[in-house]
Structure 1
Amino acid sequence: MRKRLTDIHSSRITVDALGRPGERVFLLQASEGDATFTFKIEKQQAAALALGIDRMLEELAERFPREISRLEEPLSSDLMLREPIEILFVVGQMGMGYDQSEDAVVLVLQELGEEGEEDTRVARIWASRAQMKALSRQIKEVVSRGRPICS
């Protein structure tokens, strides 16, 4: 299996949903310079991502203490989806890591592929702690606007 990799050093990262509750499409969007990358995710993936971000930021605060100032946090306008919305791929799996030398969190998105498919796409989105903290808050707000998550 071959993986095609896209690295995105994000100037902005967000999650939002389009449509009515029960029919919403959840999108994760990141930008680097003038380029914007949009990925389709499930509501449960979004909720799990917020939880994972919170856990990672708590762990990082213990292991590598550093205050996040208000000035580092993105503007509310940076948390809105940008047009045109062209989905790069549907996310099957997500993971996160941390690069201590850059003090950056990396969010790894792997394309949902068909069984036996040769190529899958992977995107690595690099973001600051402040961006990830704002992303977690944004996800929780977006998820809460809809119907409760089915268990």
Structure 2
Amino acid sequence: MSLHVFDPPDRFVAGSVGPPGERTFFLQASADGRVVTVSLEKEQVRLLGESLVEMLDQVAGPEGSPEAGEPFVDNAPLDTPFDDDFRVQRLSVAWDDEVDRVVLEAHDRPDPEELAALEAEGEAELPWGALPPQSVRVVLAPAVARAFAERCAKSIEGGRPNCPFCGQPLDPRGHICPRANGYRR
């Protein structure tokens, strides 16, 4: 198993590349000249950011409190190149009470039970093939984790605007809105 550990990272950000509707989302950690970039789904980025905010509100105090630490902002773009080291299948977020830090892990395999079920079903097209499992672990101070969560939200907002009536993404070519006498395809 290949485990990339960043404790702490010099930088840990979420971002996207590509035009709205065709974007690829990434998490990128770097430290000591080493960069690990992983790709994931937009929904995974959204859930990760929301989970971090919820957890931080419970264990580290609200933003600006002494427990939460000094505010931190990183608005710089992702580092190039954007080649992903692996595609994220599973994410986990935890709070380490001993050091008062967030521990985030991204794995290129589903959880062990789901993986066993896939292998039992004879899934021939598993994306990782014969490669060893890969994971990245990032340990973050509360203020850095909160800034990362805010960046997750901002990276998602950069996409297509939502229809004010039905909430579906608006395409540049038009939109058939079910709430405006349209229909859903």
The aligned counterpart of 1:6 is 4
Q: What are the ranges of 5 or more consecutive residues in structure 1 without an aligned counterpart?
A: none
What is the deviation of 1:101? Answer: 2.4
Cα distance in 1 for partners of 2:52, 2:68 equals 16
Equivalences for 1:40-55 in 2 at 5 Å? 40-55=39-54
Provide the secondary structure at the position in 2 that maps to 1:76. Answer: coil
8 Å CA contact 1:12, 1:131 repeated in 2: no
Return the alpha-carbon distance in structure 2 between the equivalents of residues 93 and 134 of structure 1: 22
Q: Work out which structure has the larger RCO, using CA pairs closer than 8 Å and 6 or more positions apart in sequence.
A: 1
1:95 maps to which residue? 92
Q: Which residue of 2 aligns with 1:22?
A: 21
Question: Whole-Å Cα distance in 1 between the matches of residues 74 and 94 of structure 2?
Answer: 24
Report the count of equivalent residues: 142
Q: Structure 1 residue 143 and structure 2 residue 168: aligned?
A: no
CA-CA distance at 1:67 after TM superposition: 3.5
Q: What are structure 2's unaligned runs of at least 5 residues? A: 120-128, 169-185
TM-score normalized with structure 1 length: 0.83
Which letter maps to 2:96? D
Counterpart code for 1:22: G
What value does the CA root-mean-square deviation take over the aligned residues? 2.2
Aligned-pair identity in percent equals 25
Separation in 1, partners of 2:6, 2:39? 16
> Which SS does the other structure have where 2:85 is aligned?
strand
Q: Which one has the bigger strand percentage?
A: 1
Flag the structure with larger Rg. Answer: 2
SS at match of 2:6: strand
Distance 1:33 1:128 in 2: 18
> Which residue identity is paired with 2:69?
I
* Partner amino acid, structure 1, of 2:2: R
Question: Runs of at least 4 residues of structure 1 off by over 6 A?
Answer: none
